[in-house]
Structure 1
Amino acid sequence: MTKSIYDTIVKRIEIQECKITLTKEKVIKEAYQMATSLRELLNETKKLVSDKGFIDKDQEINFFKYVKPQLLGKLIYYNKVYRIETSCPTKAGELYKIYFENELEKLNKEFQEHFVDSDFYRYIKSDRKDLDKKYFALGNIDIIEGLNSFVFEIDPNFSTYYDYKVAHIIADELLYTYIRNRLSPDNEYDSPSLTYTNYDDMFWTDSKNALIELIYALYAARSLSNGRLAISKISTIIETLFQIELGDFHHAFHRMKVRSGSKTAFLDHLKVSLEEYMSRNL
């Protein structure tokens, strides 16, 4: 399996997501369509892995740590959105608010129980790589480590078990932002264009990767709202402000972490440019 195939998988997800709005009027239909499309793509990808295999162990680990979890995570996410929205008792009022508050409470409880205090969650969040061969190489599933019983049902040729856990982390983080937006009076899914004044002459002219680097820097430094904003919400705001579609910015960021040379090329460029500007204006 080559890098071009990886890029194709990511691109197909981006194309599908560009077609949806997740407004209250369309969310059930769109979530169902996304879940259906992603399930088909996951099946295609599984067949591709079965037929082509991997070039080396590094590519295998990269697939099960980054590529498959993004695909499976979004499938889980859209499926959960569909289930939540089809069970929602009303589209407005107190019952609506109570319903989504309960969903948020359930999500928080599940996340606390299964992820927050686990060594694996800390491993993923700290961006470590020293145990990647244990977690993301095929053939290492250990049924004695207290894994959930469904481990007996997974395909050992298309899962390391931990790719599923990463996918669930991704899905739960996306769902957390979605539910919070549903509870927010200024729900950005309803009308992103109403959140900010549209400036037709203001748009991003550098690369998408440069903007993604900047977004993650602001998020990591907790420079916006004391760090309370989710990375996906910051991205949505920036996309609206600068009239740009960033697509799967999570995967783009993961590619930055392994690129040759400086991992913060754009931030380095900003620093040099500002210092030169300061020197010219002494």
Structure 2
Amino acid sequence: MRNTIYDNIYKRIQKQECTLTFEKSKVIEEVCQMMSLLNESLLELKKYVLRIGFESPSEEIEFFKKIKPGIQGKLIYYNRIFKIETTSPVKEGGCYYKHLTDQQTLLQKEFKQHFANSEFYRYYRSLREDQDDIYFRLGNISVTWGLQNFAFDIDYQFSTYYDSQVAFIIANDLINNYIMLRLNPDKDIEFSKSINYQNYHDLFWTDSKNALIELIYALHASRALSNGRLGISKICNVFSELFSIDVGDLHHAFHRMKVRAGSKTAFLDQLKENLEQYMNKDL
């Protein structure tokens, strides 16, 4: 029942995202519609959580680490696009690009202020899970942790505080991508296509994040995509969009793989073994 509710909400969001064009003449109206839908979705989730609660600690952690931040992060993202586009003095030319550059600088300042020296940011980006019980379960917030001021205004029945931090991290990544693609008009079409990956709502990555990172680096190293012209971050973004997964700190995870015990290519080794077994079935 729970998965059905979550899936239905995601499907509505993904269906709406498939209609986005991000054309400059339409973007304000489009993001307003997205904000309305996302806000309604969060309210629906809140009513459900307050009424039903969670069946297990693991479900609670997944909700506040992935499900809620994924939706809230997009709400922050589309709201930021709305502000960027409605405060721009013009829609074309040097003034518009200057406005975008200023927004990019502001985003960088916000990152330095809120995340650059954050222990939690390093925890989340490094894909750790050992403190999830502290960060992503209700009732664990301590006023002595040096929280940001807005933390004391949050709804303690529907937030662990750190789920909002994850939402801002997700939003910042999306906002930076939006600004970068607006600054390079030749990538506008590419941006629209990346959003349309959301159409594959029934396609999920069900192995570990490290396995996906291993695959991404293998494709990059073998120059199997676009004759090797795509950077590793670009490939990562494609897979993140396609599989609706936050890969996290790609380079840090890869460094850990390089020094781990045993096979450095455990997932690829398993892929090869599974494929050979599958081929031998028909022999």
TM-score (ref. length: structure 1)? 0.75
Task: Classify the secondary structure of the residue corresponding to 1:229.
Answer: helix
Contact 1:31–1:81 (8 Å) recurs in 2: yes
Compared with structure 1, are the counterparts of its residues 52 and 99 closer, same or farther at alpha carbon in structure 2 (3 Å cutoff)? Answer: same
* Aligned-residue identity in percent: 44
> Would you say 1:232 and 2:237 are equivalent positions?
yes
The CA deviation string for residues 19-46 of structure 1, in whole angstroms up to 9 with x for no partner, is 2121212111101110111001111110
> Would you say 1:161 and 2:172 are equivalent positions?
no
Task: Classify the secondary structure of the residue corresponding to 1:79.
Answer: helix
Contact 2:138–2:159 (8 Å) recurs in 1: yes
Whichever residue aligns with residue 121 of structure 2, its letter is Y
Compared with structure 1, are the counterparts of its residues 110 and 15 closer, same or farther at alpha carbon in structure 2 (3 Å cutoff)? Answer: same
Q: Distance in 2 between matches of 1:146 and 1:222?
A: 42
By how many angstroms is 1:185 displaced? 3.2
The aligned counterpart of 2:94 is: 94
Q: Distance in 1 between matches of 2:274 and 2:132?
A: 38
By how many angstroms is 1:275 displaced? 7.5
The aligned counterpart of 1:250 is: 245
Q: Distance in 2 between matches of 1:68 and 1:28?
A: 24
By how many angstroms is 1:192 displaced? 5.4
Contact 2:214–2:267 (8 Å) recurs in 1: no
Task: Classify the secondary structure of the residue corresponding to 2:127.
Answer: coil
Whichever residue aligns with residue 117 of structure 1, its letter is N
The aligned counterpart of 1:138 is: 138
Which segments of 5 or more consecutive residues in structure 1 lack a partner in the other structure?
Answer: 196-206, 237-245, 255-263, 277-282
Map 1:72-151 to 2 at 5 A.
72-151=72-151
Contact 2:215–2:268 (8 Å) recurs in 1: no
Contact 2:77–2:172 (8 Å) recurs in 1: yes
By how many angstroms is 1:165 displaced? 0.1
The aligned counterpart of 2:10 is: 10
Contact 1:221–1:227 (8 Å) recurs in 2: no
The CA deviation string for residues 136-173 of structure 1, in whole angstroms up to 9 with x for no partner, is 00001111111111112110000000000000000000
Task: Classify the secondary structure of the residue corresponding to 2:47.
Answer: helix
Contact 1:31–1:79 (8 Å) recurs in 2: yes
By how many angstroms is 1:97 displaced? 1.0
Contact 2:68–2:163 (8 Å) recurs in 1: yes
Compared with structure 1, are the counterparts of its residues 29 and 52 closer, same or farther at alpha carbon in structure 2 (3 Å cutoff)? Answer: same
Task: Classify the secondary structure of the residue corresponding to 2:143.
Answer: coil
Aligned residue-pair number: 246
The aligned counterpart of 2:22 is: 22
Q: Distance in 1 between matches of 2:189 and 2:21?
A: 7
Which segments of 5 or more consecutive residues in structure 2 lack a partner in the other structure?
Answer: 195-201, 221-227, 249-264, 278-283
Q: Distance in 1 between matches of 2:100 and 2:123?
A: 30
Q: More displaced, 214-223 or 61-70?
A: 214-223
Question: What root-mean-square deviation, in Å, do the aligned CA atoms of Structure 1 and Structure 2 show?
Answer: 3.4
Compared with structure 1, are the counterparts of its residues 265 and 186 closer, same or farther at alpha carbon in structure 2 (3 Å cutoff)? Answer: farther
Contact 1:77–1:174 (8 Å) recurs in 2: yes
Contact 1:115–1:121 (8 Å) recurs in 2: yes
The CA deviation string for residues 230-250 of structure 1, in whole angstroms up to 9 with x for no partner, is 7435667xxxxxxxxx4x612
Q: More displaced, 227-236 or 88-97?
A: 227-236
The aligned counterpart of 2:254 is: none
Q: Distance in 1 between matches of 2:160 and 2:237?
A: 27
The aligned counterpart of 1:62 is: 62
Whichever residue aligns with residue 249 of structure 1, its letter is S
Task: Classify the secondary structure of the residue corresponding to 1:158.
Answer: coil
Compared with structure 1, are the counterparts of its residues 63 and 31 closer, same or farther at alpha carbon in structure 2 (3 Å cutoff)? Answer: same
Contact 2:69–2:164 (8 Å) recurs in 1: yes
Map 1:26-37 to 2 at 5 A.
26-37=26-37
